[in-house]
Amino acid sequence: MTTIHRLRVAIAGAPVPGGGVATFYTSAATAAGFPAAVKAFYTSLKDSCPAGLSFDVPSSGDDIDVASGDIIGGWSATGGGSVSAGVGGPYVMGTGCRVRWTTNAIVNSRRIKGTTFIVPVLSGSVSGDGQVDEGFRTGLLGWANTLRTAIPADMVIYNRPAPGRNGAVSVVTGAEIPDKVSWLRTRRT
Q: What is the pLDDT of residues 71-126, one digit of tens each?
A: 999 999 999 999 999 777 888 888 889 999 999 998 878 899 999 999 999 988 88
Residue 133 is classified by DSSP as P
Residue 43 domain flag? yes
The band of 180, judged by pLDDT with boundaries at 50, 70 and 90, is confident
Q: Sort 44 into a burial class: Cβ within 10 Å, 0-12 / 13-18 / 19+.
A: middle
Q: Total domain count for the chain?
A: 1
Please enumerate in sequence order all residues whose Cβ is within 8 A of that of 187, keeping only pairs 6 or more positions apart, or say none.
none
What's the rounded Cα separation, in Å, for the pair 79 and 58? 8
Residue 138 domain flag? yes
Within a 10 A sphere around the Cβ of 97, how many other Cβ atoms? 27
**Which helix H or strand E contains 103, and what residues bound it?**
strand 95-107
Beta bridge partners of 21: 10
Q: What is the mean pLDDT of residues 62-69?
A: 96
User: Which pTM value belongs to this model?
Assistant: 0.92
How much is the pLDDT for 86?
76
Q: What is the mean pLDDT of residues 1-17?
A: 92
Residue 188 domain flag? no
The band of 186, judged by pLDDT with boundaries at 50, 70 and 90, is low
How much is the pLDDT for 10?
97
**Mean pLDDT score across all residues of the chain:** 91
To the nearest 10 degrees (0 to 180), the angle between helices 134-150 and 34-45 is 170
Residue 44 domain flag? yes
Residue 124 domain flag? yes
Residue 189 domain flag? no
Q: What is the mean pLDDT of residues 3-31?
A: 93
How much is the pLDDT for 146?
96
Q: What is the mean pLDDT of residues 24-50?
A: 94
Within a 10 A sphere around the Cβ of 23, how many other Cβ atoms? 12
The band of 185, judged by pLDDT with boundaries at 50, 70 and 90, is low
The band of 128, judged by pLDDT with boundaries at 50, 70 and 90, is confident
Q: What is the mean pLDDT of residues 132-153?
A: 92
Q: What is the mean pLDDT of residues 157-163?
A: 92
- The answer to whether 173 touches 111, Cβ cutoff 8 Å, is no
* Structural domain for 63, as ranges: 3-183
Please enumerate in sequence order all residues whose Cβ is within 8 A of that of 181, keeping only pairs 6 or more positions apart, or say none.
95, 96, 97, 126, 130, 131, 132
Amino acid present at 70: D
Q: What is the mean pLDDT of residues 159-183?
A: 90
